[in-house]
Amino acid sequence: MAQLERLLKMAEDELTEYSTDARKMEKLRRKIGLSVSAAEQRQAKEALLATKQSSNIITQILEEQRQAVALPFWGIAGLGLLFGISLNQPIGLLVAIVGTVLAFRIQKWGWQLQASRLLLQTLEDIEARIAQPNK
């Protein structure tokens, strides 16, 4: 599992760059090819497929639209801060903290889901290239 976590971190690093998914997969494919054996790649793919099968509609939406899902919580945090300061209400400040934590965790979860999808696509691409070396 340490290998899978390392691969996911590599995928998350690729997500930080502004480029197309194909370019991200190409760079990730090179990194994986240099550092991970074929057997470990298959194990990582099987583990990712096992986690992917347990996904539901919420995780799919979160993976595709993490910022849009987190936006209402950022708004709640902002309003809580505004009302907490302007009306001198500690409950407003508490709402701001809770909204911020929820928004951050939602975005982090979406980021991890997106990285796992990128890694899975890359591992499948590597398998396809090995199966058909003509391309």
- With beta carbons less than 8 A apart as the criterion, state whether 45 and 123 touch: yes
Structure confidence by residue, pLDDT tens digits, 62-121: 888 999 999 999 999 999 999 888 888 889 899 999 999 999 999 999 999 999 999 999
Instruction: Give the global pTM.
Output: 0.82
**Dist. CA 127–CA 114, nearest whole Å:** 20
- With beta carbons less than 8 A apart as the criterion, state whether 115 and 62 touch: no
